[in-house]
Amino acid sequence: MDLSRAAAATLDAADELAPFRDRFVIADDALLYLDGNSLGRLPRETPAALARVVEEQWGRGLVGSWADWIGRATEVGDVIGTGVLGARPGEVLVSDSTSVDLYKLLVAGADARPGRDVLVCCADDFPTDRYLVAGAAAARGMEVREIPADIDEGLDLDVLAAALDERVAVVVLSAVAYRSGALPDLAAVTRLVHDAGALVLWDLSHAAGAVPVELDAVGADLAVGCTYKYLNGGPGAPAFLYVRRELQDELRQPIWGWFGQRDQFAMGPAYDPAPGIERFGVGTPPVLATAAVEVGARLVAEAGIEALAAKGRALTDLVVALADEHLAPHGVVLASPRDAARRGSHVSLAHPQAWQITQALVDRGVVPDFRTPDRVRLGCAPLYTRFVDVWDAMDRFRAVLAEGAHEAYPTERSRVT
């Protein structure tokens, strides 16, 4: 691989997705933003879409706008489901936060496997997933099997297989590991879990918009995910949940709110869950925030998930090659799968002073994430990240290490990393 900046510029010139960068607000063109997997950039269309909902629908239409709003959670769910996740219409709902959605589907799944008393998760799952599994298990008197995973290479299918038996009700796993980006074989995992008679619940937070997950094709049961990362829905945007069509009427989620109720304005005496995906709703849907989610998700669908994933692999391949060439001599070690086909659109680099390096990079106009224990995580959101951005960021990373600039930064961490 030609590791010159000119070669990176050539890749940009040939990039068919390059025009999508202009669809986003780039307030500071010199900022090298490699954190779109934490918070996606603001699409240019979003302020106008929000203004339309706020000023026309809320301000002018007032309560009458509910005739339109009432369907938004499923309509935008379908944009995500059919446009990004390989789901069928009516399988995805925009609702609550990723954490609340995971709780709902986890409990619904466990209830659908009576007599089974084990929940499986992975020690390297994102904390909220592990905490939620622990909480649900504690409340239900179930046991948690937290299977180990290499924090760089991800889940080993043999380890998973060994943890599965007739006691397992639900298996919670990340489609793309939040730290390393490791991407398991979703179809193979699903087969293993189904062979054990259990349900699989995917956390797609770092996968949706980065890699194809093909939920229908792989036979997935349940999934949740975040819309403010690669889907560019804005900070704290409502999450999405997926329930395979064939499972919907069998499952009941535990939070019996009126937006999961059949014909909720009849305000009937007893909870009677709506048919289909709507039964997984709870409270009044977040109308304003959902408008922002729609804009971001439509951009991803328009670009096409296969093209995005291909560019993501190329971008992260460039990170890996430059790290090998320029950072390894300074003690930086790749902390993600080396094979691009086995990872999402971000990679992590390990260094004992990762937190200090992260601070030094931010001061030099590069935005990565620090992740425990000693990782600098570099997200290459393919919709708007250029190859030269990666090259320039890695060049500054090299300079920080060469100059020892990171040594001047505190080792104590800030509250938000």
Under rule CB under 8 A, residue 81 binds its own copies: no
Question: What is the distance between the alpha carbons of residues 115 and 280, in angstroms, rounded to a whole number?
Answer: 23
CB of 219 or CB of 276, closer to its own copies: 276
How many beta carbons lie within 10 A of that of residue 143, not counting itself? 12
198's torsion region: left (phi>0), alpha (psi -120 to 50) or beta?
A: beta
CB of 31 or CB of 159, closer to its own copies: 31
Total residues binding its own copies (CB under 8 A): 90
Under rule CB under 8 A, residue 55 binds its own copies: yes
> Is 384 designated active site?
no
Nearest approach in angstroms of CB 281 to its own copies is 9
Applying the rule CB under 8 A, the residues between 135 and 174 that interact with its own copies are: 135-136, 139
> Is 78 designated active site?
no
Under rule CB under 8 A, residue 65 binds its own copies: yes
Question: Residue 31: which of 358, 379, 393, 304 has the closest Cα?
Answer: 393
Under rule CB under 8 A, residue 128 binds its own copies: yes
> Is 272 designated active site?
no
Per-residue binding string, its own copies, 225-244, x by CB under 8 A, is -x-x-----xxxxxx-----
Applying the rule CB under 8 A, the residues between 305 and 364 that interact with its own copies are: 362
Q: Which of 32, 100, 172, 383 binds its own copies (CB under 8 A)?
A: 100
The tokens describing 270, both together, are 């007893």
Please, what is the Cα angle at 210 between 395 and 246, to 5 degrees? 165
Q: Which long-range contacts (CB under 8 A, 24 or more apart) does 5-9 make?
A: 5/388, 5/391, 5/392, 5/395, 8/318, 8/386, 8/387, 8/388, 8/390, 8/391, 9/387, 9/388
> Is 228 designated active site?
yes
Which of 126, 178, 230, 409 is an active site residue?
Answer: 126
Applying the rule CB under 8 A, the residues between 249 and 278 that interact with its own copies are: 254-259, 261, 263-271
Q: Give every CB contact of residue 310 below 8 A, 6+ residues apart in sequence.
A: none
* DSSP β-bridge partners for residue 222: 201, 243
272: exposed, middle or buried (Cβ count in 10 Å: 0-12, 13-18, 19+) = middle
Under rule CB under 8 A, residue 21 binds its own copies: no
Under rule CB under 8 A, residue 29 binds its own copies: no
Under rule CB under 8 A, residue 412 binds its own copies: no
> Is 311 designated active site?
no
Q: Which residues participate in catalysis according to the annotation?
A: 126, 203, 228-229, 377
